[in-house]
Amino acid sequence: MLALLLLWSLTSVADEQSFRLLEGMSQALQQLNYRGELVYQSGGEIQSVRIIHGFAPERASEYEMMESLNGPKRSVVRGEGAVHYALNGEPIELQSGATLLPFKFSSVEDLQRIEPYYQMRIEGKERIAGRDTIKLQVVPRDHYRYGFRLWIAEGSSMLLKSEMSNQQGEVLEGLMFTSLKLLPSLPQEFTLHNTLSPQQTPERGAEQPGAKRSDGSSQSYRLQWQVATLPPGFSVVTARVEPHFVMEGREKVVEHHLYSDGIASVSLFIEGVTTGGEPEPGEISHLGAITMMTQSYDGYRATVVGEVPPPTVLQIARSVVLRE
């Protein structure tokens, strides 16, 4: 009995240490000022990225600039509730404004929410980018989410390396800082009045006014769909209707839902289709850690995409129903 009590006590202490590591890392990712370079690997491709991050405590505002260093020149600027993308200097619009760096929890409650679905354990220490780190393993408790290994810097709690892996232990996605400089104050790139370009687009998930039709009139769109049975631990983060314009003046409306378990996230896009015919069974496709499935039925097409295993995407795609 004494041995069991001692084992339980040691396990509780280890869990508390792991959660404190994760909490410190989350705060560091949001509140530290830094500039550096990292290597990002996904789907067999490797990218070098320059990243600059800043935090203005008086406004509780987070800023981030990322620029690819090999291949086409791609850049992302985030801040003040907006996101701006560019390819070779030309503004472009993408479906997601997600940062490369994961595990940004907005509260302790968000952090505690993941405990039923992930187990954490400290694996030791390792040196990354010239800094001593603690290696933390985040293991999923079921088949609805991927696992992670995180290398967290001692002292600053900054995430210096991460790996996402499936149940077989295969690394699907990873990043590692090759250089990092912590800064005492907000980087000068974010102190300029025109940090964000006039072509900026509102950050996904932010509230927007009613959509404009192609004739300039205003129109509000009502959510029509919902997921009847979400995978365990997942809940709605945002659900909104996004108007899109297509050729020949025809308007296309897409309903976008975002779900998360506190770490993993999945997007559901629903759009009307003009082609007839019987419903087609969806097929699952993969690109690195990204899993995608498209299911068509009743004149609509539902696309589910996220960095989650196939069972998660499958359950969401097959649980889409009309709202009552």
- Domains delineated in the chain: 12-202 (2.50.20.10), 220-322 (3.30.200.100)
Predicted local confidence at residue 18, as pLDDT: 87
Q: What is the pLDDT of residue 83?
A: 76
- Can you give the pLDDT at residue 3? 47
Task: Let me know the angle formed at the C-alpha of 241 by 75 and 253, rounded to the nearest 5 degrees.
Answer: 90
In one-letter notation, the amino acid at residue 304 is: V
Query: What are the beta bridge partners of residue 127?
Result: 132
Distance CA 172, CA 170 (A): 6
**Which residue ranges in the chain fall short of pLDDT 50?**
1-13, 94-97, 193-218, 245-249, 277-279
Q: What is the CA radius of gyration of the chain?
A: 21
Question: What would the two tokens of residue 222 be?
Answer: 């009502």
Rounded alpha-carbon distances, angstroms, from residue 163 to 174, 238, 253, 319: 4, 27, 36, 30
CB 131 within 8 A of CB 154: yes
What token pair was written down for 160? 């210096």
pLDDT of residue 220: 60
Looking at residue 231, what DSSP letter applies? P
pLDDT for position 194: 46
Q: Is 139 exposed, middle or buried (0-12, 13-18, 19+ CB in 10 A)?
A: middle
**Cα end-to-end distance, the chain, whole Å:** 54
CB 75 within 8 A of CB 85: yes
